[in-house]
C-alpha cells in the first residue's frame, strides 16, 4: 500500500503553504515536547517536596502516557473527519490549558489527573503533524520532511532543559509548568498561516461524491481490508521502542543526579547535549531513509540503541558519560522516520488516525515503563532498569522485519514521474 501516499497526495499547494505547514508543525511539536519533558525535569524536585516514593512518582509519567494513548484515537479520528488544522488547534489548546493548571495543583492526586488530561492533547500532535506533512511533501523528500518536523522533539526537550536549569533552582517546579501558556503562540501561527490540507479536503470531497453521503471514518477501518496486520505490528513496534525511550527518558534526570552525583544545573547541560545528538540523528536518519527505505533505517536505529544503552549505563567516568549521551540518543531518533513510515501504511482518509494510533497507542502501552523502572530502581538501581530496556528494542526490531517497506528510492522516482506526467 505504498501508493497510498501518491501523486494526489504530494506537492498539493504552493511552496509557501508547504513551508508554512512544515514550520507550523515543527513549532507545534516543539511545544508538545517541552510540555512532555517538564515532568521528567521537575520530577526530582517534586519527589523531594512531596516526599514521594519512586513508584508513585512513576505513576505521574504513566498517567500522561495513558492520556496520550487515548488522545491518538480521539484526535486522530477528529483529524480524519474534521480536518488537520482544527485538530491541531484543539490539541495545542488542550495540553496548554491543563499544563498551566498543573502549576496550581495542591496534591499528588490532582497532579496526576491534570497530567492525564494534558496527555489527551499531547498525544494528538504527532499523528496530525505526520499526516499534514506527508500530504504536502513529495515521496522523495517525505522522510526528511517528517523527520525535520519530529526532530522538534529534542529541540523542545533542550528548551525545556534550559528553562528548568534557570527556573527550578530559583522559582520551583510550578513556575516551569506555567510555561504551558506558550502553546498560544503556536495556535496563533497555525490559525493565520497554515491552511487546511488540500489533499484531505479533496479526498473527503471525492469520497462523499462516491458514497453520496457525508464521509466518516471509524477506528474499525484500521483493522479491516488487510490493514489489521500492519496496524497491530506497527503499534507493537512503537510500544517496544517507546518503552525503552520513556523508561530511560523519564528517569534520566533522576539517574544523573542520584546515581552519578550531578547537580541540577550540570544535569541540565547533559540533557541539552544529549538532545543535540538526537536532533542530528533525526536529520541523518530521515535523509538516509529517503535513500535506502524506511524499514532498513528503523532496524539500524533499534540495534544501535540496544548496543549503546548498556555501554552508557556501565560508564562511571562523568566526562565519558557526557560525550556518550548524544551518541546514545542519536539512535533514539527513529520516531522521525516513523512519521513518514506509519503515514505511508494508510490511505489518505485514515492517515492521521492510522499513524497516530500506531505511534501513540504504542506510547500508551509503554505507559507503565516509568512505573516499572521506578520499582526496579527501588530494588536494584536505575542503571539496571535502563540496561533491561535494550531487550525491548531487540523485540521491536524483530517485529519490524514483518512490516512492509513502503517507499524505496525507485518507488519515489516513479511517483515523481507520475506527478509531472
266 domain-assigned: yes
Confidence check: pLDDT of 410 > 70: no
* pLDDT confidence of residue 248: 83
Q: Please state, as a whole number, how many other Cβ atoms lie within 10 Å of the Cβ of residue 327.
A: 16
For residue 215, report the phi and psi dihedrals to the nearest 5 degrees: -90, 125
Greater pLDDT, 414 or 23: 23
- Most confident segment among 53-57, 64-68, 326-330: 326-330
Contact in structure between 123 and 22 (CB atoms under 8 Å): no
Band the pLDDT of 411: cuts 50, 70, 90: low
Residue 87's pLDDT is 94
**Residue 403: count of CB within 10 angstroms of its CB:** 18
- Top-ranked range on mean pLDDT: pick from 172-176, 204-208, 412-416: 172-176
pTM of the model: 0.76
Is residue 405 pLDDT above 70, yes or no? yes
Query: Is residue 247 classed as helix, strand or coil in its secondary structure?
Result: helix
The whole domain housing 290 covers: 16-196+223-412
**Per-residue pLDDT at 111:** 94
Confirm if 152 and 29 have CB atoms less than 8 A apart: yes
What share of the chain has pLDDT > 90, as a percent? 32
Task: Name the 3-class secondary structure at 16.
Answer: helix
- Split at pLDDT 50, 70, 90, the class of 408 is low
Check residue 138 and give its pLDDT.
79
Q: Which of 26-30, 36-40, 69-73 has the lowest mean pLDDT?
A: 69-73
Q: Tell me the average pLDDT of the chain.
A: 84
The confidence band for 26, taking pLDDT boundaries of 50, 70 and 90, is very high
Q: Supply the pLDDT for residue 14.
A: 61
d(CA 349, CA 70): 20
Is 420 contained in some domain?
no
Of the candidates 285, 217, 227, 245, the residue with the CA atom closest to the CA atom of residue 74: 217
Cα gap 12→15, rounded to integer Å? 9
Instruction: Taking residues 41-49, report their average pLDDT.
Output: 89
Among 241, 254, 256, 236, residue whose Cα is nearest residue 61:
254
Question: Please, what is the Cα angle at 122 between 66 and 163, to 5 degrees?
Answer: 115
CA dist., res. 406 & res. 269, Å (int): 38
d(CA 116, CA 122): 10
Identify whether 207 is part of a domain. Answer: no
Q: Is the pLDDT of residue 106 over 80?
A: yes
Mean predicted confidence (pLDDT) in 381-393: 83
- Give the range among 93-107, 254-268, 318-332, 336-350 with minimum mean pLDDT: 254-268
pLDDT for residue 417 is more than 60: no
Per-residue pLDDT at 173: 94
In a domain, 201, yes or no: no
Residue that wins the pLDDT comparison between 408 and 415: 408
Q: What is the pLDDT of residue 13?
A: 44
The answer to whether residue 209 sits within a structural domain is: no
The confidence score (pLDDT) of residue 8 equals: 43
pLDDT > 70 in the chain, percent: 92
CA dihedral over 75, 174, 41, 395, signed as positive or negative: negative
Residue 336, in any domain of the structure? yes
Query: Which tens digit of pLDDT belongs to each residue from 125-175?
Result: 988 988 888 888 877 788 888 889 988 988 898 889 889 888 998 999 999
Please work out, in degrees rounded to the nearest 5, the angle formed at the alpha carbon of residue 103 by the alpha carbons of 111 and 92. Answer: 90
The pLDDT of residue 419: 37
Q: Confirm if 255 and 262 have CB atoms less than 8 A apart.
A: no
Which cell is 380 given?
A: 536494584
Confidence of residue 96 (pLDDT cuts 50, 70, 90): very high
The verdict on residue 148 lying in a domain is yes
Give the C-alpha separation, 382 to 391, whole Å: 16
Interval 290-301: pLDDT, tens: 888 889 999 999
Cβ pair 236, 338 in contact under 8 A: no
From CA 263, how far away is CA 258, in angstroms rounded? 9
Give the highest mean pLDDT range of 20-29, 142-151, 266-275. 20-29
Q: For the residues 264-290, what does the mean pLDDT come to? A: 85
User: What's the confidence (pLDDT) of residue 187?
Assistant: 96
Q: Is residue 231 part of a domain?
A: yes
Domain count for the chain: 1
CATH of the domain at 382: 1.20.1250.20
Cα(397)–Cα(305) distance, integer angstroms: 11
pLDDT value at position 193? 93
Residue 381, Cβ neighbours under 10 Å: how many? 15
End-to-end Cα distance, the chain? 21
Amino acid at each position: 500500500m505504498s501508493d497510498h501516499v501518491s501523486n494526489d497526495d504530494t506537492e498539493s499547494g504552493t511552496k509557501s503553504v508547504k513551508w508554512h505547514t512544515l514550520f507550523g508543525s515543527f513549532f507545534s511539536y516543539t511545544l508538545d515536547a517541552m510540555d512532555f519533558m517538564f515532568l521528567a525535569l521537575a520530577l526530582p524536585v517534586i519527589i523531594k517536596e512531596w516526599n514521594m516514593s519512586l513508584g508513585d512518582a512513576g505513576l505521574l509519567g504513566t498517567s500522561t502516557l495513558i492520556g496520550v494513548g487515548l488522545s491518538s484515537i480521539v484526535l486522530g479520528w477528529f483529524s480524519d473527519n474534521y480536518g488537520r488544522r482544527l485538530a491541531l488547534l484543539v490539541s495545542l489548546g488542550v495540553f496548554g490549558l491543563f499544563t498551566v493548571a498543573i502549576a496550581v495543583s495542591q496534591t499528588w492526586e490532582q497532579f496526576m489527573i491534570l497530567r492525564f488530561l494534558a496527555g489527551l492533547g499531547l498525544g494528538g500532535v504527532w499523528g496530525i503533524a505526520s499526516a499534514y506533512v506527508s500530504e504536502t511533501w513529495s515521496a522523495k523528500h517525505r522522510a526528511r520532511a517528517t523527520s525535520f518536523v519530529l526532530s522538534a522533539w529534542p529541540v523542545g526537550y533542550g528548551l525545556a532543559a534550559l528553562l528548568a536549569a534557570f527556573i527550578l533552582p530559583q522559582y520551583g517546579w510550578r513556575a516551569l509548568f506555567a510555561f504551558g501558556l506558550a502553546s498560544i503562540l503556536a495556535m496563533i501561527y497555525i490559525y493565520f498561516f497554515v491552511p487546511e490540507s488540500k489533499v484531505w479536503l479533496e479526498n473527503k470531497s471525492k469520497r462523499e461524491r462516491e458514497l453520496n453521503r457525508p464521509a466518516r471514518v471509524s477506528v474499525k477501518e484500521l483493522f479491516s481490508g488487510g490493514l489489521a496486520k500492519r496496524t497491530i505490528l506497527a503499534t507493537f513496534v512503537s510500544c517496544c521502542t517507546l518503552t525503552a525511550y520513556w523508561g530511560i527518558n523519564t528517569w534520566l534526570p533522576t539517574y544523573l543526579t542520584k546515581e552519578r552525583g550531578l547537580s541540577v544545573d550540570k544535569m541540565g547541560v547533559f540533557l541539552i547535549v544529549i538532545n543535540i545528538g538526537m536532533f542530528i540523528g533525526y536529520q541523518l536518519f530521515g535523509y538516509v531513509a529517503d535513500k535506502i527505505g524506511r524499514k532498513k533505517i528503523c532496524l539500524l536505529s533499534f540495534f544501535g540503541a540496544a548496543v549503546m544503552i548498556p555501554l552508557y549505563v556501565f560508564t562511571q567516568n562523568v566526562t565519558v558519560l557526557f560525550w556518550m549521551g548524544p551518541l546514545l540518543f542519536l539512535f533514539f531518533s527513529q520516531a522521525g522516520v516513523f512519521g513518514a513510515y506509519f503515514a505511508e501504511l494508510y490511505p489518505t482518509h485514515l492517515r492521521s488516525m492510522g499513524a497516530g494510533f500506531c505511534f501513540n497507542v504504542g506510547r500508551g502501552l509503554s505507559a507503565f515503563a516509568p512505573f516499572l523502572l521506578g520499582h526496579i530502581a527501588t530494588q536494584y538501581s536505575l542503571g539496571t532498569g535502563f540496561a533491561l530496556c535494550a531487550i525491548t528494542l531487540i523485540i521491536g526490531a524483530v517485529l519490524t522485519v514483518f512490516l512492509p517497506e513502503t517507499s524505496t528510492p525507485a518507488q519515489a522516482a516513479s511517483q515523481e514521474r507520475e506527478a509531472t506526467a
